Amino acid sequence: MTTRTTPVAARGTSPLARHRWAVEAVAAAVFALALVAYGSGASFRQDYVVLICTYSLLALGMYIPYIMSGSLSLAYNAYLGIGAYACGLISTRAGWSSLWGVPIGIVLSAAIAVVLGLATRRLTGFYLAGVTLLFAVAFQVFLLDRVSLTGGPVGMPVRRPHAFGYTFTRYDIMIGAVVLVWIVGLLLSRLRQSPFGVVVRLRKDVPQVVESSGISSGTIGVVSLAVGAAIGSVGGSLFGMMGGVAQPESFGLHIIFLAIFMPLLGGQRSPWGAVIGAVLVVVFTFELHILSDAGTLFFAIAILLVLRFAPLGLLGLGTPLLRLLTRLRMGRTPGGEGS
Amino acid sequence: MDEILLSCSNVSKSYGGVAAVRAVGLELRAGEILGLIGPNGAGKTTLVDVITGQQTADTGVIRIGTVSLTGPPSRRARLAGFARTFQHPQLALDMTVRENILIGAVPDRFSSPWRVLASAFSGAARPATPEIDDRITDLAAELNISALDRMCADLTLGEQRLVEVARALLRGPTVLLLDEPFAGGDPRGVEGMIHALTRIVERGCGVLVVDHNVDIVASLVDRLVLMDQGQVVFDGLPTAAMASQEMRTVYFGSGT
Amino acid sequence: MPVQLWVSVVELGCFAGLIALGFFLVLRGADVFMFALGPLAMFGAMFGAFQVSRNGWPLPIAALIGVAIAVALSGLTELLIVRPIHRRTGGQENPSIVAIVAILFALEQLAGTLFGRTPLPGTPFWSAQFRWGEAVISGQSIVLVAVTVLAFAGVALWLRRSANGRMLRAVGDNEHAARTLGVPVDRIRLIAFCLAGLLAGVAGSLFAAKAGVSFTSGLQWTLVGFLAVIVGGLGNVWAPLVGAVLVATLQTWSVFEFGHAMRDYLTFAVAFLFFAFRPKGIFQTKVRI
């Protein structure tokens, strides 16, 4: 029996007012500080932190089109690659600061995402996934083949970024990467709750409703892809600037697979799930030496387990736990609403 | 008589040789509730899909005022001020009632690619929309929808249909299409829908009710259109329709 | 194009055809694109090649067990992952895709961990060489062609003659309706997955002899088969084979004419053009109402 006595929600209280943005921002900041503290040690740790941030931006870039809007357009290696190569080209060919590569990469990858999105707008599911994977292969081959432009298999150097006469150190880049992930994560979390986010999520389940409400579902899809590609491209730029090189092998299909799985592992209900997934990938593949070669295999198995048994991901496991804790606490507090 | 909001003339649609809708003509006037009834397979839903653009008609013209309607559903909905509900409620079940209704309030923000992009940025900057929330809250109260923060998966079929009506009404439509609003509803759901319909009429928009529950529809509408085998066989006052020979033929198969 | 390259076309066409036939069966029977077939073929082939080259097993036994493993893994994929997820999500497409991609990824990693991350050489079943005009035809390619023809004829016959084969199509078209009509949907789906695993396993162990096999071959094989399905369509059992031969011709010719990069650009372009202009492939399913 559903109770009919539930009062209609009071006016003026937006459901968002109850969402504690400050708490989320602070919790994420604490996490960011922990990352920075970790990265303040040996130099290789800074590479790990930037790799985590790169993967985070990749997964965050996929968050709107893939998790929220349900599009399996998968050519994300291209967007990352464009970000890195834009920094490389602008710094070695034009001699400008590689920071200029960031906006150039954003515009270029968003443009390619729009073209690819328009070209595949009638495809969904397996066919969209397949044809965008073919595009991803063709992109990697392009990097290997166009030696005059991309440097071929050895890639091309990316100069350290500089601005106003100051050349950024690796440590600076690491700090910048962490701050960037923090900002993008928060913005996406807010975006998810906004009308745009609601419409994009409705498009995933009930596309006819979006259309019959007078909103072009195709336009929503293409814009989501463009925004996602731009975020991914920034990740690629960071990766290139940190490593000092842009190479084809960094932008193969494996990163697409990682990117598909990261948000599922961490949890789909929040962009932070994607970040958690990124941390786990890097920990599994590089940090757990006992797993040595099998790190990626363990990651793959973890994914299968999560898909099968915990469809809401690790953050999803936290919610019932939290609910249980609150219930226990409420049960004990006098006057609390025991159940 | 009030102005004609929506008119169909000579609309036909067939699937692989089977004519689902044959040369149908229909008019809907402002402030009118028009009932479209007929047995299963009479072509009612196909006609609605053709009007809204989910399907394209083989022949015929659909006009809103004097403008001919073409293109994808989103374009038609914008041009015509259509809003519709679906025979099988189309709700994102793992989202809240409020979120499902909200889309009705915001189509203006998504009318061009640039506006979509802008709404993405403004959404990240300022996700809360208190003024829209207030509108949703008021409308929900009017339609007796309670607990807006429930997941749609927890609703009964009747409640889901009401949520669809709320979503459609929030757009402030000039023409509202209700596709089988009474089908499968428990008595409470039907009651809620009848109440909703009285509120809808107060807003002065034209309403097309498609259903096969003849008795309920006939008691609510200003005019009845009876369809059978893809054609309109009767168009007139509900009382006349109920007494007509065609009605008896279609529903009871008696006499000629 | 030299005659020898046409031999390559036939080999690649038969191989891609077998994989595509596997896709065809699962698409027809479960309405799922089993992207993991390429990696299954790779896994079976790597198992065989590893046991032969490292442990000195006799080829027939190693290959047989490799194929059996591919069948078992394909069946387990359906039983343990795809079916439960399909049920839980009420038949939504995306969760199934992600699950299958996860299996693809897991199989690659498992093969890399078990059999090493360097390519392994395949061993031919029949190492005779025949001269035919300017071309040299290996016994292995004759085996591959024979097996392909047999497999297609067998599947065609099975689909037409056996009760399970006839039900396969009903399940893929409308699972719900098939279930209501009393079709044993679960069994049919499982048969489709196992048969596809068998085809993939056989294809992999036969093709490995040509160019060797490494843990990353699986995805390439999947994409070649995918393209064959896109070009051929699903209208007819033989459509995947026609699609595969066309794709093989195009790929071999473009490598010969322009080099490897052009092959991959053209591959994408063809997939893209087919989706734009002929989304159901060359052989379209007849619309029946």
What domain count does chain A have?
1
In chain A, whose CA is at the least distance from the CA of B112? A219
Is any Cβ of chain A less than 8 angstroms from the Cβ of B123? yes
Percentage of chain A lying above the pLDDT 90 cut: 39
Is residue C269 assigned to a domain?
A: yes
List the domain range (segments joined by +) for residue B120.
4-252
Cα separation, B54 vs B73, in Å, equals: 6
Do residues B165 and B86 make contact, with C-beta atoms less than 8 angstroms apart?
no
What domain count does chain B have?
1
Task: Name the residue type at position A339.
Answer: S
Residue C145: its pLDDT value, please? 92
- The alpha carbon of residue A3 is apart from the nearest alpha carbon of chain B, in Å, by 10
Is residue C284 assigned to a domain?
A: no
What domain count does chain C have?
1
Summarised one tens digit per residue, pLDDT across range C139-175 is: 888 889 999 999 999 999 998 888 888 888 788 778 8
Tokens standing for B150? Answer: 């429930």
From chain A, the residues in CB contact with B162 under 8 A are none
- pLDDT classification of C228: cutoffs 50, 70, 90: very high
For strand C135-138 and strand C129-132, is the pairing parallel, antiparallel, or unpaired? antiparallel
Is residue C287 assigned to a domain?
A: no
Substitution target in A126, A265, A290, A303 with the highest count of C β-carbons within 10 Å is A126
Summarised one tens digit per residue, pLDDT across range B184-239 is: 777 888 888 888 888 888 887 889 999 888 888 888 889 999 998 888 888 888 88
Cβ–Cβ gap A304/C101 under 8 Å: no
Summarised one tens digit per residue, pLDDT across range A170-197 is: 899 999 999 999 999 999 999 999 999 9
From chain A, the residues in CB contact with C84 under 8 A are 308
Residue A17: its pLDDT value, please? 54
Q: What ipTM does this complex have?
A: 0.89
Nearest to A257 among C105, C260, C279 (CB): C105
Is any Cβ of chain A less than 8 angstroms from the Cβ of B153? no
Is residue A194 assigned to a domain?
A: yes
Is residue A31 assigned to a domain?
A: no
Cβ–Cβ gap A214/B78 under 8 Å: yes
Is residue C21 assigned to a domain?
A: yes
List the domain range (segments joined by +) for residue C264.
3-277
Is residue A335 assigned to a domain?
A: no
Is residue A149 assigned to a domain?
A: yes
Cα separation, C94 vs A98, in Å, equals: 38
- The alpha carbon of residue B117 is apart from the nearest alpha carbon of chain A, in Å, by 6
Tokens standing for A203? Answer: 């498009």
| Bigger pLDDT: C236 vs A234 | A234
Is residue C72 assigned to a domain?
A: yes
- The alpha carbon of residue A336 is apart from the nearest alpha carbon of chain B, in Å, by 22
Cα separation, A249 vs A153, in Å, equals: 8
Instruction: Name the strand (E) or helix (H) holding C246.
Output: helix C239-258
- pLDDT classification of A11: cutoffs 50, 70, 90: low
Task: Name the residue type at position B64.
Answer: I
Is any Cβ of chain A less than 8 angstroms from the Cβ of C265? yes
Cα separation, B134 vs B122, in Å, equals: 19
From chain C, the residues in CB contact with A303 under 8 A are 102, 105-106
Residue numbers of chain B with a pLDDT score lower than 70: 1-2, 253-256
Is residue C289 assigned to a domain?
A: no
Is residue A131 assigned to a domain?
A: yes
Summarised one tens digit per residue, pLDDT across range C52-91 is: 888 888 888 999 999 999 999 999 999 999 999 988 888 7
Nearest to B228 by CA among B204, B252, B206, B207: B252
- The alpha carbon of residue C80 is apart from the nearest alpha carbon of chain A, in Å, by 8
Q: What is the CATH number of the domain that holds C199?
A: 1.10.3470
Is residue A296 assigned to a domain?
A: no
For strand B67-68 and strand B82-84, is the pairing parallel, antiparallel, or unpaired? unpaired
Q: What is the CATH number of the domain that holds B180?
A: 3.40.50.300
Nearest to C92 by CA among B61, A96, A72: A72
> Which string of DSSP letters, residue by residue, matches C190-203?
HHHHHHHHHHHHHH
pLDDT score of A15 more than 80: no
Is residue A120 assigned to a domain?
A: yes
Tokens standing for C151? Answer: 């497999």
Do residues C1 and C255 make contact, with C-beta atoms less than 8 angstroms apart?
no
Is residue C283 assigned to a domain?
A: no
Nearest to C102 among A253, A296, A304 (CB): A304
Residue A330: its pLDDT value, please? 60
Is residue C12 assigned to a domain?
A: yes
- pLDDT classification of C31: cutoffs 50, 70, 90: confident
Is residue A272 assigned to a domain?
A: no
With tokens 């279609």, the residue in question is: B250
